[in-house]
């Protein structure tokens, strides 16, 4: 079993990265392999909303940048953690660019994330953590993921390098999340019960031409 942790910070050694390393240790103690994927040194454009992924259905985004490498990593993993710094009360633009495209391509190709275990966390100096945490969870909720929770909302406080590791309460909830996630993944892996069939999504809108 393998977990992919995506670090959505432009910093490769910032607080989000420190938390990713901390989580890696927790998962490895649970005998789960981990890869950390840093977005900070990648070139990832925003979604052009062209719909090519839904037409081509080839597990790729038509914008040929580093997002396609991330898609390959995602397809080889069994569980996912999404970590982002808070920028202006929400996730980083870098993370949003990546997740919009990643989840759109995933949806166009049978939904890689459905019925997989996932979790998320944010790193923040002071304020905006709940909003960003909610933004990350929206991707998981949309995709029918099984979400592993911590013992609080996964919002870790810190500003300068590695400061997040000194947020005892934040680190405590990450530790609980890692143990819960490892447990869920093992239960699912060992289960003989079939996962539910994926229902096709029904898409409606709110426009009524007759009014
Ligand atoms: C562009 C930018 C915007 C930020 N906006 C907020 C904010 O809205 N609220 C806050 O408390 N901290 C804010 N911060 C601080 C970061 O959330 C904080 O330093 C966090 O630990 C950074 O994580 P990192 O080291 O992984 O990049 C901002 C930082 C940057 C660079």
Summarize pLDDT for 133-159 with one digit per residue, the tens. Answer: 999 999 999 999 999 999 999 999 999
pLDDT score recorded for residue 208: 84
Rounded to 5 degrees, what are φ and ψ at 2?
-135, 140
The mean pLDDT of the chain is: 97
Cα 119 to averaged position of ligand 1 atoms, centre (Å) = 20
Is ligand 1 within 6 A of the CB of residue 128? Answer: yes
Tokens of 106: 């995933």
Maximum Cα interatomic distance, the chain, rounded to a whole number of Å: 60
Instruction: Answer yes or no: is the C-beta of 38 below 6 A from any ligand 1 atom.
Output: no
Percentage of the chain lying above the pLDDT 90 cut:
94
Å from CA of 157 to ligand 1 middle: 10
Ligand 1 pocket member 89 (CB < 6 A): yes
- pLDDT band, residue 211 (cuts 50/70/90): confident
Q: Report the alpha-carbon distance of residue 114 to residue 103 in Å, rounded.
A: 11
Q: Sorting pLDDT into bands at 50, 70 and 90, what band is 183? A: very high
Q: Is the CB of 11 under 6 A from ligand 1?
A: yes
Compute the distance between CA of residue 176 and CA of residue 149 in angstroms, rounded to an integer. 8
Domains and CATH numbers, the chain: 2-190 (3.40.50.360)
The protein residue with its alpha carbon nearest to ligand 1, atom 9, reads: 127
What tens digit of pLDDT does each residue of 79-99 get?
Answer: 999 999 999 999 999 999 999
For the chain, the DSSP string reads -EEEEEE--S-SSSHHHHHHHHHHHHHHHTT-EEEEEESTTS--PPP----HHHHH-SSS-SS-STHHHHHHHHHT-SEEEEEEEEETTEE-HHHHHHHHHHHHHHHHTT-TTTT-EEEEEEEESSS-HHHHHHHHHHHHHHTT-EEPP-SS--EEE--STTGGGG-HHHHHHHHHHHHHHHHHHHHHHH--SPPPPPPPPP---S--TT-
Asked whether 72 lines ligand 1 (CB < 6 A), one says: no
Average pLDDT over residues 17-27: 98
Between 61 and 210, name the one with better pLDDT. 61
Residues 184 and 148 sit within 8 Å (Cβ to Cβ): yes
Q: Are strands 79-87 and 117-124 parallel, antiparallel or unpaired?
A: parallel
Given pLDDT bands bounded at 50, 70 and 90, which one contains residue 7? very high
The pLDDT of residue 165 is: 98
Q: Is the pLDDT of residue 67 over 90?
A: yes
Q: Looking at the CA of residue 17, tell me the nearest atom of ligand 1.
A: 26
Percent of the chain with pLDDT over 70: 100
Ligand 1 contact via 183 beta carbon (within 6 Å): no
Ligand 1 atom closest to the Cα of residue 158 is 21
Q: What is the mean pLDDT of residues 62-86?
A: 98
**Tokens read off for 48:** 């052009």
| CA dist., res. 4 & res. 106, Å (int) | 15
Lookup: tokens for 188: 């699912």
């Amino acid at each position: 079993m393998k977990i992919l942790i995506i670090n959505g910070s432009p910093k490769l050694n910032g607080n989000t990265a420190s938390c990713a390393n901390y989580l890696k240790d927790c998962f490895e103690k649970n005998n789960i392999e981990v890869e950390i994927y840093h977005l900070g040194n990648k070139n990832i454009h925003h979604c052009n909303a062209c719909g090519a992924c839904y037409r081509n259905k080839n597990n790729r985004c038509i914008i040929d940048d580093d997002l396609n490498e991330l898609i390959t990593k995602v397809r080889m993993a069994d569980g996912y953690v999404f970590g982002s710094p808070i920028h202006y009360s929400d996730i980083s633009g870098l993370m949003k660019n990546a997740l919009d495209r990643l989840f759109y391509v995933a949806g166009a190709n049978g939904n890689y994330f459905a019925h997989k275990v996932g979790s998320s966390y944010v790193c923040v100096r002071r304020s905006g953590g709940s909003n960003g945490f909610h933004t990350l969870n929206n991707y998981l909720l949309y995709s029918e993921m099984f979400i592993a929770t911590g013992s609080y909302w996964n919002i870790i406080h810190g500003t300068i390098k590695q400061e997040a590791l000194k947020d005892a309460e934040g680190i405590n909830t990450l530790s609980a999340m890692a143990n819960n996630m490892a447990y869920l993944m093992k239960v699912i892996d060992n289960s003989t019960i079939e996962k539910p069939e994926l229902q096709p999504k029904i898409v409606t809108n709110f426009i009524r031409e007759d009014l």
